[in-house]
A and B are shown apart, each in its own frame.
Chain A
Amino acid sequence: MTPLAGYLLLSSFLFAIGLAGALTRRNGILVLIGIELMLNAANLNFIAFWRFGPNPEMLKGIIFVLFSIGVAAAEAAVGLALIIAIYRHYRTTNVEKMNSMKG
């Protein structure tokens, strides 16, 4: 297994963990944590490919990851603000309770 393959497997495992958490945990904040984990896994993927890819001097991977970090930060901020606002309204962060769009 090449190093790249290792990094890729790691990143996909992290991704799967994050996904599992996002899909199974009740608390909304934990769903957001799972999402952050997924994003980080993707960043790792990028950096791995940058490092073992054909043109490292293009710095594409790094730039992309930088922007990804920035966006993820913004998104975390907004998401948590939303959770807080929802908590203020519903008095709970249980995502299962937020189903007023009944099917």
Chain B
Amino acid sequence: MLWIVKNLWLIPALPLVAAGLSALAKQPCKKFASSLAILSMAGALVLSCIAFKAALAHSGSGEAANQIFNFRWFQFGASEADWVRIGWLLNRLTAVMLVMVSFVSLLIFIYSTGYMAHDENFTRFFCFLSLFAAAMLGLIIANSLLLFFICWELVGLTSYLLIGFWYHKPSAAAAAKKAFITTRIGDLAFLLGMVWLYAQTGTLLFYDQGHGCLEQSALATLTAQTTVFRLTVAGGIGLLIFLGAVGKSGQVPLHVWLPDAMEGPTPVSALIHAATMVAAGVFLVARVYPIVSASPDWFVGVAPALKVVTWVGVITAVFAATIAVAQNDIKRILAYSTVSQLGFMMMGLGVGGVAVGMFHLITHAFFKALLFMGAGSVIHGCHEEQDIRCMGGLRKFMPVTFATYAIGMMALCGVPLFFSGFWSKDEILHHAHLWSVSRWPFYLGAFGAFLTAFYMTRQVFHVFFGNCRLELGRTTGSEQHTVAHGGEPASEHPHSELPPQPHESPASMTLPLVILAVFSILLGFIGTPAWPWFQKFLEGQVATMNMSRLAEPEVLHLMLVSSVIVFIGIGLGWWLYGRKSIANANELDVLERVRPDIFHLLRNKYYIDEIYEWAFVGLNKRWAQACAILDDLIVSGLVHLIAYVIVGLSWISKTVDDEVVNKGFDEGCHGVSTGAGWLSRLQDGRVQNYLRVIGVALIVLVLFLLWGCKG
């Protein structure tokens, strides 16, 4: 057993220790907290690289590629088998995620030192960030679904804490609550799936020398039985666990929390809601892929659970992309873009398998974090302005930000050849094209890619090109404007007087941008068809470099199609928004002028939030009102009745006491008094009366004797 495998726990432990120490530290120890967090993250990165090397060196494929370390945690019964066991797992999937998460987290930590420099709750921020990193890393190395779930919940908790970081802002507090509650719904399904899995297989360990729940014997058990809707048990469990991922990764219909989560500080949005936490859902599906894709031997075709995964992903991808077209807040556009890309990842998992989805996850982490951090830089430079209609022409003022943002944008759109997004999205579209079930994911995916290019171009032209509308926007104001203003207390920002001049961000913020930009380009090359290193790595094989694969008709055809789509999208964006610059902030969007009704529908997110509010929240409210009425009438009535009964009883008691006892007592006392009055007359001191009484007594006694003797 390699040292690193046994001590894989050190990787999440380092940030956890940093979080603990930061929690104990006093508030103003800024340097202490941030340096602790960054050092711990650097340590985690080093260990992750060691682990990666170990995974790289480890030969074997399939199940033999997993290096595990399981141990007993606690006992719940008397016999030997009644131990809950958990452990860590080092396989290629783990190694890749470890390196990505620790690297991106480290960069974002460094970025945060600059971004949050003026915030008074700096220490708390880094404490929470470290806690999040610890939980995320723990989730990655977990070999037990139980440990995974624990870290999953911890990640959710830190997300809540960080979204509501500026808790005195009511919208932030509400967003944090919304995030937690929505993901909770998914978590409930996850828990049910977990329990079901345990009941069926008796273990929650993923790999356990043949006994784990992802291994052959368990899968055989799971596929043997069928449940509702003609699903196998594996399919049912897989769907339940997938529902957990739906909540966490913001798939439709539980996507509503992700855009609102933009209330948190931008590093939080970058780290949690772009790169890592939302990717945890995708990671989960990748982890339990054997269960989700399991089908009995006699079954031909794709497992139903996997089909559901694909379709949900497709719908999410298109849905979110359409909404993003009509948004005006810079971060919200990116949020919907994240939702859309997560849909793509799920689609990739569904149509192509673990490698396809994971490749897009890795590349997306880098360029989305880059984009968010760039947006943070823009917001910072524009003095907390967040509405893109109120920005413009920032290209001149913030060149580094512009350059890196452009690289990120091109990666996201999938501009061909040089940018990682192109290669990873292409993999997905390629496999979608080949999908046996239906071609629709491919068409819709292509449409989604087109929309991605379109709205990103719209955003870039609004923000970086044209004339600067900054101070004009200030007087008119927009909803996000006031929101952005309410974010940080003005006293912390030295630029609260408004020189309208936007400025470039400090090096602590731009350096990570540059690094991420580099990776956004470079990462693409590890997954091209010419050299599919990434895919083969995950499968445990060696990849060979072969440029001719690029020239295969299948591949080439697809590359051309997607390139064309991207260029059409970018071109349309330029034609609508880039040709003549936007005059002022109040001007209606081009699309809004053309088709205002659709535009409004998209801008209001298809009114999904309102529907949920009316349906679920409203239902809850009406139910609560009904219960309140019930409580008032029945329970209250009952209580009142009992109270009246008791009052009545006490009235009776009091009356008895008053009338009977008191009066009786009074009468008694009166009687005694009167009687005593009477009797006292016997003692009046008049001797002759005494004598008379004695005389009478004598008579009586004698009579007694007389008649007594006679009788």
Give me the interface of A with B, judged by CB distance under 8 Å.
19, 22-24, 28, 31, 95-96, 98-103
Contact = CB atoms under 8 A, between A and B. Distances in A.
B683 interface: yes
Most buried by B among A99, A101, A103: A103
B695 interface: yes
A31 B685 contact: no
B683 A22 contact: no
A23 B691 contact: yes
B684 interface: yes
B685 A99 contact: yes
Contacts of B685: 98-102
| Residue of A24, A31, A95 ringed by the most chain B CB atoms within 10 A | A95
A31 B688 contact: yes
Contacts of A28: 687
A91 B680 CA distance: 26
A23 B682 CA distance: 16
Contact of A103 (B682, B688, B695): B682
A103 B681 contact: yes
Nearest to B679: A103
Interface in B659-711: 677, 680-688, 691-692, 695
B545 to A, nearest CB: 137
Contacts of A102: 684-685
B681 to A, nearest CB: 3
Contacts of A101: 683-685
**Interface SS of B by simple majority:** helix
A98 B689 CA distance: 12
A95 to B, nearest CB: 5
17 contacts: A19-B695, A22-B688, A23-B692, A23-B695, A24-B688, A31-B691, A95-B686, A95-B687, A95-B688, A99-B684, A99-B686, A101-B683, A101-B684, A101-B685, A103-B677, A103-B682, A103-B683
A102 B687 CA distance: 12
Majority secondary structure, A binding face: helix
Interface of B: 677, 680-688, 691-692, 695
A82 to B, nearest CB: 11
Contacts of B686: 95-96, 98-99
A54 B9 CA distance: 131
A103 B691 contact: no
A34 to B, nearest CB: 9
A78 to B, nearest CB: 15
Contacts of B680: 103
Contacts of B688: 22-24, 31, 95-96
A103 B677 CA distance: 7
Closest 3 CB pairs of A and B: A101-B685, A103-B681, A103-B684
B139 to A, nearest CB: 103
A100 B687 CA distance: 12
Nearest to A98: B685
Contact of A22 (B677, B684, B691): B691
A102 B681 CA distance: 7
The listed residue with most B CB atoms (<10 A of its CB), out of A19, A23, A31, is: A23
Contacts of B681: 103
A102 B680 CA distance: 8
Nearest to A99: B685
Contacts of A31: 687-688, 691
Contacts of A23: 688, 691-692, 695
A76 to B, nearest CB: 16
Contacts of A24: 688
A95 B689 CA distance: 10
A95 B695 CA distance: 18
Given A22-B691, A23-B695, A31-B687, 16 more contacts: A19-B691, A19-B695, A23-B688, A31-B688, A31-B691, A95-B688, A96-B686, A98-B685, A99-B684, A99-B685, A101-B684, A102-B684, A103-B677, A103-B680, A103-B681, A103-B684
A83 to B, nearest CB: 11
A101 B682 CA distance: 10
A92 to B, nearest CB: 14
Contacts of B683: 101, 103
B706 to A, nearest CB: 14
B687 A98 contact: yes
B683 to A, nearest CB: 6
A102 to B, nearest CB: 6
Nearest to B682: A103
B150 to A, nearest CB: 96
Nearest to A20: B695
Nearest to A101: B685
A43 B526 CA distance: 152
Contacts of B687: 28, 31, 95, 98
A1 to B, nearest CB: 19
A96 B677 CA distance: 20
Contacts of A98: 685-687
Nearest to B680: A103
Nearest to A24: B688
A101 B683 CA distance: 7
A99 B677 CA distance: 16
Contacts of A100: 685
B695 to A, nearest CB: 6
Contacts of B691: 19, 22-23, 31
A74 to B, nearest CB: 20
A81 to B, nearest CB: 16
Contacts of A99: 684-686
A49 B134 CA distance: 129
B502 to A, nearest CB: 114
A95 B684 CA distance: 12
A45 to B, nearest CB: 14
Nearest to A103: B681
B687 to A, nearest CB: 5
A22 B687 CA distance: 10
A52 B681 CA distance: 45
